[in-house]
Each structure stands twice: as structure tokens, then as C-alpha cells.
């Protein structure tokens, strides 16, 4: 090859005087040349959807810029692309004709353009160099990509971490001199929008040397929490003549001594070095002062009911539960849809539903969804934890009692939970902990649909739907005599086994969705690939309850919009090592992600691609043709993948 030779390699740049960062990229790629894949490393639809959930905050923040850029570049036969921090393209839009041409070189969503996969290119090299850059024509390492002229700029979090890349790519026959500046400006706008969406935890300090620049992309922005800088944009670093390492988590006074006196409108301010600035301070909008963000009630959340007067308690009708909006409940696993429909029909038909699952597997959430979807939704959902009540009180709690029924009873008596559930649903949690003596009385109630309170001379008719739940093996308890067989069979007209959290097919997407919910209304942190892989690999013995607790902690103790790595996770999750060989391979990829970001995407995506191929072959009995059609690739491409070491062999070619 003619051009500038690369020392110690057989490669030479076609451009005689390439920029230094292009020379560095070619030197890196020359070392990996034999390992660069012939075919694009692409994610399946499900994995790409999970990436969209992982980077939902960046996607939302970037959408206005993507829409604006797409309208600008469409006439110039160009595309606008958004990629994540591992180089995977998340979104592509722009000129329709050039989209088709770009697809021939795999410039499309779901494909990794990391340097390890596509050689020198704007997306991958901007990530490697952590800087905006242009890669034009022959500057691309792979000849097939030299039809492109690409311009990319990193998008940074408020903590300075690279979250992704904004790229403008077009035909190499046309050098778009404006494109790099435009991509850089829009990437800064996206970073600014991420900061402005930080939410009610942070004050926002806006400053510049000119008052008229306080609403532009060049304004400095600081996020302040408890008087310390927890986030900044690159304009703030330039104005303060510092970097993220020296600025973050330091008192604001160190840089802007009199910042606390700033009003919400522009005012003059002196920097720590005497620099004259104009600044304003935006206070967080607190829905309820002094109330933690993560527990604030929404405006449309029903107020708690007022306590009843003791004199009216005995004769009061059972309170109807305020309607619980299903959109405020944690969503169910989509894999449970068929089981949920079946159990809802059973409940509507008067059958009892028994939920079995591990501790924290979401039995009460499932019961609440059932309540809202069933014919009993207008009535109350009365939940009783059978394992939390002392044996001496559980009978009175369930069946109620008349005034003076026993020593220590309340003067006005009590209705009991069974009568309170009339017209709604009775949810008996931990039913396996109910004493045998009460199991007999409960069975009679279920058969006769009447309740006789303690000390009462007559029974009271009741009508309710019944949902029970247990994390114990009730069938085994029946065998040992610890649970009545007749009650067991009466409770399980419709049995639903709730799978543990670790078995969710969409676990990665669920983790990201739950993290956003835990952080709301503040901007959520973003999980990097290594942290998300470790969270998805952890077995979660406490299931959804444990996951919620961990994610609440991550959202609380990390500034809005920050990046969470493996080292930021709780120690027991960091220390977890999988037992199986398949999990161990994933763990190796996760370790690479945490320790060597430059090769993280290569290891993780290659592992996912191999798994997709193995699953497709298994679905089609090893038939190459059918598996290739399922994967959306050509037979010859699948043959090349199968020739790699460690890949499964097909049964039927």
C-alpha cells in the first residue's frame, strides 16, 4: 500500500499526513488485524431492546438534536447515528437512499463499530481517543468502509464519563467540512440536557463571562448537592480552568466563593481567581420540603384514610379500598401473561388462586394486579400475613369478635379480616404458617361462605375472591401432616408458580427500568456494560425485594446522570462468581468490561453473538438453513461463524 508506512507493521496509511489520532488508531488496528471479524458483530432484537432500556436517558436527551440534525443532513446524503459507550449503534436516521447504502457496510442499529470490530472509524476511534474527530475515506482501516466520511463527538455524563457518541456519516466523495463542528455542538447540547434533567436533588448554577451567553450551549453548568459540585459540563471546566478530577465533589466555594447569594436571575460573580462572571442559581423544585425524593407521594396518589372513631368501629361497613392504579404497580414479567390471564379468569369464576414462589418473588404484587383486573376490583384487597400474627391473635384477627368475647377484647368488638374482605379479595400471605386449628375453621368459611365471629350467636354471610400465597412446599407439608390436605386442595383451584427474578428473559431491561423508577423524579444513573452484566448474573436470593433495595441505594448514593461501574455495586454482588461454565464465560467478559474498556465490547458482544447462534441451532435441530433464516443472515455467514473455535457444530447442514 502506498502512503505513510506504520513502523513495525505491513500497513501504510493512504493519506500522506494523517492526524496523530488517526495514526494511533491505525497502529492499534494493525495489531488486531488478524482478529478483526469479516462480518459485523450485531446484536439480536432482544439485546438491542435491552440496550435501549440501558441508555434510555441518553436516548431521550439526544432526540431533539437527532431530529434537528436529520432534517439538516438528509439533503446532503448523510445519516445521524447515536452509539453507546461500547460502540453499538442505537439509532440511525437521515437520508433514505444513503441508509440503504450504509446498510451494505453494516452502518445500522445493533451493530458494534468499536475499533476491535470495524477498525479505524469515527465512532470507535472517538471512543478510544475520548475526543471529537473526523475519519474520511481512506483513513478508515477496513477498505470496505472507505466509502464513508464520518464525524463523531463523545457525549459525556455530568461526571465526565463517556455515555455515547453522536455521529454524522456521509459519502466520502463529498467532504462535509461543517459536520464535525455540528456533531460536537449537538453532543454538548445533549450533555447539557442531561444535566438540566437532573431533577429535584440538585441546585443548578449557570455561569459565563457574558450575560447574553447564559442560555447558549457554551454556558457553564454545575450540579450542586449539599454545597458540593456533583456534576459539570465541559464549558464549566474551561471557564474555571480545571478538570473533572479536581472539580467534582469539592465545595463550590473553592471555585465560586459567593455563589450562595446568587439570585434566580443573572447577577455578577467573581471566580476564585478574580475572573468576572455572570451567573444565576436555580433551586430544585421540592414537591414536599424535607421529604426524601424517593418517597414523595405523587399528586394523584390517594390520601391515607382517616382513622375511624372507636365508637363506630363495630358497626362500620368495611371500607372500600381506594382504587390502586395498575400503572403505579411494578409491572409483571411479560412471560407471566398467559398464567395471569388464566388466574384472573379463575378468580372471576369463584375459584381460589394459590401463588407459590420464593421469598420476594412478587406474590403480593401479582395479587394486587389480579385484584385490579378481576371482577372484584371495586371492593377492597385485604391482605393478611399469616406468618406475622401470633397464634393467640390470628383467630380474632381473621374471624373478628363480639364485644366482651374474651378478656382484653376491645369494648366495641372487631369485624375481622374475613368480613372486611366482603365484596373484594382476601389475600392470605404465608398461608403455610397458619396453625392447624385455624385451618379447619378457614375451610368451613370457604365452603359455607359464612363467618361466625368469636362470641357471636349467628354466622354472617360473606362473599370474596380468595388468593393465597406461600414460599413453602405445601404439598410436602400435607405429606407430613403439617397442613390439612382438604384445605390445600380447596386453595389450589388455580395454582400459579411465580418464577424467581433470576429466570427473567428480559432481566437486563427490567433492571434498567427499575433503576429509573427508583431514581424518579431525579435523573437516573446509567449502568455501564460490566455493572449491568454483573447485576444480571447475580442470583438474587431475595428476588424483586432485594433488587429494589439495591437499586434504591445505587440511585440514592450516586449523583443524577452518573455512570455506575462494577466497583460501585454492593460488595456481595461484586464478589459473586458464577458456578457454571457458561456463567463463568460471561463473568470473564464482565471482568474485561470492568478492567479493560478498550476490549470490553469485543468480548461481551462476541459472547452474546455465539449464544444467539447456539440457541438458533438448538431451536431448528441443527439445521443450518433454517437457523440462518431465523438469525437474518446468509448460510455462508453462519458457516464462517461456526468455523470459529468453541462454536457448536450443526447436526444437519
For 506-641, CATH number out of 3.30.930.10, 3.40.50.2300, 3.50.30.60, 1.10.8.60 equals 1.10.8.60
Contact between 233 and 252 (Cβ < 8 Å): no
Q: 347 or 301, which is more confident?
A: 347
CB-based contact 9:30 (threshold 8 Å): yes
Q: Measured between alpha carbons, how far is 141 from 226 in angstroms, rounded to an integer?
A: 48
pLDDT of residue 17: 57
Residue 613 scores a pLDDT above 90: no
Q: Which residue has the higher pLDDT, 565 or 311?
A: 565
Is residue 199 within 8 A of residue 284, CB to CB? The reply is yes
Per-residue pLDDT at 321 = 41
Largest CA distance in the chain: 105
Place 178 in a pLDDT band, splitting at 50, 70 and 90: confident
User: Per mean pLDDT, which range of 230-244, 319-333, 458-472, 585-599 is the poorest?
Assistant: 585-599
Residue 1, pLDDT > 60, answer no
Q: What is the pLDDT of residue 404?
A: 56
Give yes or no for a contact between 89 and 113, defined as CB atoms under 8 angstroms apart: yes
Q: Are 149 and 70 in contact (CB under 8 A)?
A: no
| Torsional class of 544: left (φ above 0), alpha (ψ -120 to 50), beta (otherwise) | alpha
Q: Cis omega (within 30 of 0) on the bond before 521?
A: yes
Tell me which of 282-286, 287-291, 293-297 is least confident.
293-297
Domain boundaries, the chain: 4-196, 203-282, 334-497, 506-641
The Cα angle at residue 458 between residues 453 and 462, in degrees rounded to 5: 65
Confidence of residue 313 (pLDDT cuts 50, 70, 90): very low
* Per-residue pLDDT reduced to its tens digit, 482-504: 999 999 999 999 999 999 999 99
The grid coordinates listed for 138 are 481512506
Q: Which residue has the higher pLDDT, 321 or 142?
A: 142
Is the pLDDT score of 619 beyond 80?
A: no
Is residue 86 pLDDT above 90, yes or no?
A: yes
Yes or no: say if 614 and 620 are a contact pair by the CB < 8 Å rule: no
- Distance, in Å, from the CA atom of 25 to the CA atom of 39, rounded to the nearest integer, reads 20
Pick the more confident residue, 631 or 243.
243
Q: Which of 167-176, 308-317, 329-338, 395-404 has the lowest mean pLDDT?
A: 308-317
Order across the sheet with 220-225: list the strands. 228-232, 220-225, 203-208, 276-282, 267-270
**SS3 state of residue 400:** coil
Residue 601 CA to residue 165 CA, distance in Å, equals: 15
Count Cβ atoms below 10 Å from residue 141 Cβ, excluding itself: 26
148-156/12-13 β-pairing: unpaired
Between 7-16, 143-152, 273-282, 322-331, the lowest mean confidence (pLDDT) is in 7-16
Give me the percent of the chain exceeding a pLDDT of 90.
58
At the topology level of CATH, where does 4-196 sit? Answer: Beta-Lactamase (3.30.450)
Domain topology for 334-497: Rossmann fold (3.40.50)
Cβ atoms within 10 Å, residue 337: 10
Averaged confidence pLDDT in the chain = 83
Identify whether the C-beta of residue 54 lies closer than 8 Å to the C-beta of residue 512: yes
Q: 474-503: b or e for each residue (b if 16 or more CB lie within 10 Å)?
A: beebbeeeebbeebbebbbbbbbebbbbee
Amino acid at each position: 500500500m502506498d502512503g505513510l508506512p506504520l513502523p513495525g507493521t505491513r500497513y501504510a496509511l493512504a493519506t500522506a499526513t494523517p492526524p496523530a489520532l488517526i495514526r494511533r488508531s491505525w497502529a492499534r488496528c494493525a495489531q488486531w488485524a488478524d482478529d478483526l471479524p469479516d462480518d459485523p458483530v450485531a446484536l439480536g432484537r432482544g439485546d438491542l431492546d435491552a440496550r435501549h432500556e440501558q441508555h434510555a436517558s441518553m436516548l431521550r436527551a439526544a432526540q431533539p438534536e437527532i431530529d434537528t440534525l436529520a432534517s439538516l443532513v438528509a439533503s446532503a446524503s448523510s445519516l445521524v447515528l447515536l452509539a453507546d459507550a461500547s460502540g453499538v449503534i442505537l439509532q440511525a436516521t437521515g437520508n433514505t437512499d444513503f441508509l440503504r447504502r450504509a446498510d451494505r457496510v453494516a452502518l445500522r442499529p445493533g451493530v458494534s463499530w468499536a475499533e476491535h470490530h470495524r477498525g479505524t472509524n469515527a465512532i470507535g476511534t472517538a471512543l478510544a481517543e475520548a475526543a471529537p474527530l473526523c475519519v474520511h475515506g481512506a483513513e478508515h482501516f477496513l477498505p470496505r468502509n472507505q466509502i464513508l466520511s464520518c464525524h463523531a463527538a463523545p457525549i459525556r455524563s455530568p461526571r465526565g464519563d463517556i455515555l455515547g457518541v453522536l455521529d454524522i456519516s456521509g459519502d466520502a466523495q463529498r467532504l462535509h467540512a461543517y459536520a464535525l463542528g455540528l456533531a460536537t455542538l449537538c453532543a454538548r447540547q445533549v450533555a447539557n440536557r442531561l444535566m438540566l434533567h437532573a431533577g429535584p436533588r440538585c441546585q443548578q448554577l449557570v455561569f459565563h463571562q457574558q450575560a447574553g451567553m447564559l442560555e447558549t450551549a457554551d454556558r457553564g453548568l454545575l450540579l450542586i448537592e449539599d454545597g458540593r459540585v456533583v456534576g459539570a459540563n465541559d464549558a464549566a471546566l474551561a471557564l474555571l480552568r480545571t478538570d473533572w478530577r479536581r472539580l467534582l465533589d469539592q465545595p463550590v466555594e473553592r471555585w465560586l466563593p459567593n455563589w450562595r447569594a446568587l439570585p434566580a436571575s443573572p447577577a455578577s460573580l467573581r471566580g476564585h481567581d478574580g475572573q468576572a462572571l455572570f451567573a444565576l442559581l436555580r433551586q430544585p423544585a421540592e414537591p414536599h420540603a424535607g421529604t426524601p425524593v424517593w418517597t414523595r407521594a405523587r399528586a394523584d396518589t390517594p390520601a391515607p384514610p382517616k382513622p375511624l372513631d372507636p365508637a363506630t368501629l363495630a358497626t362500620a361497613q368495611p371500607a372500600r379500598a381506594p382504587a390502586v392504579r395498575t400503572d403505579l404497580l411494578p409491572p409483571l414479567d411479560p412471560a407471566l401473561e398467559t398464567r395471569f390471564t388464566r388466574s384472573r379468569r379463575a378468580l372471576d369464576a369463584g375459584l381460589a388462586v394459590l401463588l407459590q414462589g420464593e421469598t420476594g418473588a412478587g406474590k403480593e404484587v401479582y395479587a394486587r394486579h389480579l385484584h385490579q383486573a378481576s371482577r372484584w376490583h371495586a371492593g377492597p384487597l385485604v391482605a393478611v400475613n399469616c406468618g406475622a400474627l401470633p397464634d393467640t391473635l390470628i383467630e380474632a384477627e381473621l374471624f373478628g369478635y363480639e364485644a366482651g368475647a374474651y378478656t382484653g377484647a376491645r369494648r366495641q368488638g372487631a369485624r375481622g379480616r374475613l368480613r372486611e374482605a366482603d365484596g373484594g379479595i382476601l389475600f392470605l400471605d404465608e398461608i403455610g404458617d397458619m396453625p392447624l386449628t385455624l385451618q379447619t375453621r378457614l375451610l368451613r368459611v370457604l365452603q359455607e361462605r359464612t363467618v361466625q365471629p368469636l362470641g357471636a350467636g349467628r354466622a354472617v354471610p360473606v362473599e370474596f375472591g380468595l388468593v393465597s400465597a406461600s414460599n413453602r412446599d405445601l404439598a410436602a407439608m400435607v405429606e407430613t401432616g403439617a397442613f390439612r390436605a382438604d384445605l390445600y386442595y380447596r386453595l389450589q383451584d388455580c395454582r400459579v408458580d411465580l418464577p424467581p427474578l433470576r429466570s427473567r428473559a428480559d432481566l437486563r431491561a427490567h433492571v434498567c427500568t427499575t433503576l429509573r423508577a427508583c431514581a424518579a423524579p431525579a435523573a437516573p444513573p446509567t449502568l455501564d456494560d460490566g455493572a449491568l452484566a454483573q447485576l444480571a448474573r447475580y442470583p438474587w436470593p431475595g428476588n424483586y425485594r432485594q433488587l429494589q433495595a439495591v437499586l434504591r441505594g445505587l440511585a440514592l448514593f450516586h449523583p443524577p446522570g452518573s455512570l455506575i461501574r462494577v466497583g460501585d455495586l454492593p460488595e456481595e454482588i461484586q464478589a459473586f462468581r458464577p458456578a457454571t461454565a457458561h456463567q463463568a464465560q460471561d463473568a470473564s467478559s464482565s471482568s474485561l468490561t470492568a478492567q479493560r474498556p478498550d476490549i470490553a465490547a469485543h468480548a461481551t458482544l462476541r459472547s452474546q453473538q455465539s449464544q444467539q447462534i447456539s440457541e438458533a441451532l438448538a431451536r431448528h435441530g441443527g439445521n443450518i438453513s433454517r437457523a440462518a433464516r431465523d438469525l437474518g443472515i446468509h448460510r455462508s455467514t453462519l458457516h464462517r461463524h461456526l468455523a470459529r473455535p468453541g462454536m457448536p457444530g450443526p447436526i444437519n447442514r
